[in-house]
């Protein structure tokens, strides 16, 4: 993998709690359109493709590879037993190897914040509840990280039996993987009001530890939502979503696309200064969170996407989209 990877996360459809599909209208044509925009308009060189369904993940990854993008594949069977996680990782490894042997530049991310996304690692019935309890379950992190390292060792072993390319993991800042078993140190990092004072030093320390092991450091996930004040709660900014069958957001939220754009470009500056080799903005689009002019129904306010999704499957670029294109391509 080349250094200086300019990437973005692509949501091909993750099933969260209550059967919520983050990309309910996924299609080959729409994905191909998106990957071409990612390559040609944004100037990205790579995508992190994520999905719950192995077939959809394989389809999206293949389409991204056809467009000449470097592809990192991340299976996301959230809130499923470890046995299903291992099955999903095996399938993703086989997909990655098929793409690699066909000439694509491809890597595999074996999981995302597994202490939260996998049951039994920490208390809580779902991914969201385990995340919300994290400040209270902090004393349990040593045990959770011991479980995590055992699980990751198994997943990497399964992967290397099937895939000859680079392997990484998307670690939350509370997680302590054994990076010796990976080719790339991979982290998810959000700057917010809680950690802003130490964020740059923390990133520099992660990158320096990776370099000391002779490994590149990638940030696989960072971003913020599109309402005023979201950057202060970046990792949990989407928590403003309300409802189960019919989602809504507080009517008092004020759209602020510039805040989102500034947040992303500021963090790209931080990552440049601290020696990070590759970055993946979260994310391109959150298709289930459609925009609306109706107060309380503009779900795009709670989206990390740099495009605003519409009910008909189309999208509109936000200010962050243009800011990233200007940075990566030098084109306003």
What would the pLDDT profile of 308-321 be if each residue is shown by its tens digit? 999 999 999 999 99
pLDDT band per the 50, 70, 90 thresholds, residue 331: low
CB 6 within 8 A of CB 328: yes
The C-alpha atoms of residue 76 and residue 54 are separated, in whole angstroms, by 9
Residues 263-281 have pLDDT tens digits of 999 999 999 999 999 999 9
pLDDT band per the 50, 70, 90 thresholds, residue 300: very high
Give the pLDDT score at 246.
87
Residues 136-154 have pLDDT tens digits of 998 999 999 999 999 999 9
**CATH number, domain at 135?**
3.20.20.80
Query: Is the pLDDT at 2 greater than 70, yes or no?
Result: no
Q: At what angle do helices 141-160 and 82-101 cross, to 10 degrees?
A: 40
3 state DSSP class of 218: strand
Query: Is the pLDDT at 30 greater than 80, yes or no?
Result: yes
Distance of CA 91 to the CA centre of its chain: 19
Mean pLDDT of the 13-31 span = 91
How far apart, in Å, are the Cα atoms of 114 and each of 120, 147, 210, 219? 10, 10, 20, 16
pLDDT band per the 50, 70, 90 thresholds, residue 128: confident
Query: Is the pLDDT at 165 greater than 70, yes or no?
Result: yes
CB 45 within 8 A of CB 38: no
First to last CA, the chain: 28
pLDDT band per the 50, 70, 90 thresholds, residue 18: confident
Give the pLDDT score at 1.
36
Give the pLDDT score at 231.
97
* Count of domains for the chain: 1
The C-alpha atoms of residue 56 and residue 30 are separated, in whole angstroms, by 13
Mean pLDDT of the 104-117 span = 97
Give the pLDDT score at 276.
98
Q: 11 is in which domain, residue-wise? A: 5-329
Instruction: For residue 149, give every residue at least 6 positions away whose Cβ sits within 8 Å of its Cβ, in sequence order, or none.
Output: 176, 177, 178
């Amino acid at each position: 993998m080349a250094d200086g990877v300019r990437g973005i996360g692509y949501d091909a459809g993750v099933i969260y709690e209550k059967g919520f599909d983050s990309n309910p209208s996924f299609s080959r044509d729409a994905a191909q359109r998106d990957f071409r925009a990612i390559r040609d308009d944004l100037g990205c060189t790579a995508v992190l493709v994520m999905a719950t369904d192995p077939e959809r993940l394989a389809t999206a990854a293949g389409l991204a590879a056809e467009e000449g993008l470097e592809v990192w594949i991340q299976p996301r069977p959230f809130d499923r037993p470890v046995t299903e996680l291992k099955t999903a990782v095996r399938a993703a490894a086989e997909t990655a190897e098929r793409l690699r042997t066909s000439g694509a530049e491809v890597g595999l991310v074996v999981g995302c914040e597994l202490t939260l996304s996998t049951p039994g690692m920490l208390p809580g019935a779902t991914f969201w509840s385990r995340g919300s309890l994290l400040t209270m379950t902090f004393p349990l992190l040593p045990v959770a990280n011991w479980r995590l390292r055992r699980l990751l060792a198994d997943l990497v072993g399964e992967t290397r039996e099937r895939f000859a390319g680079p392997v990484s993991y998307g670690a939350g800042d509370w997680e302590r993987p054994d990076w010796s078993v990976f080719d790339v140190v991979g982290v998810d990092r959000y700057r917010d009001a809680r950690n802003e004072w130490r964020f740059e030093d923390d990133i520099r320390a992660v990158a320096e530890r990776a370099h000391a092991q002779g490994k590149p450091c990638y940030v696989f996930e960072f971003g913020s939502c599109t309402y005023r004040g979201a950057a202060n709660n970046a990792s949990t900014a989407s928590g403003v979503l309300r409802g189960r069958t019919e989602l809504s957001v507080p009517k008092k939220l004020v759209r602020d696309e510039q805040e989102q754009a500034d947040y992303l470009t500021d963090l790209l500056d931080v990552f440049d200064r601290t020696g990070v080799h590759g970055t993946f903005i979260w994310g391109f689009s959150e298709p289930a969170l459609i925009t609306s002019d109706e107060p309380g129904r503009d779900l795009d306010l709670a989206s990390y996407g740099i495009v605003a999704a519409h009910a008909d499957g189309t999208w509109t670029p936000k200010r962050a989209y243009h800011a990233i294109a200007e940075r990566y391509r030098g084109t306003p």
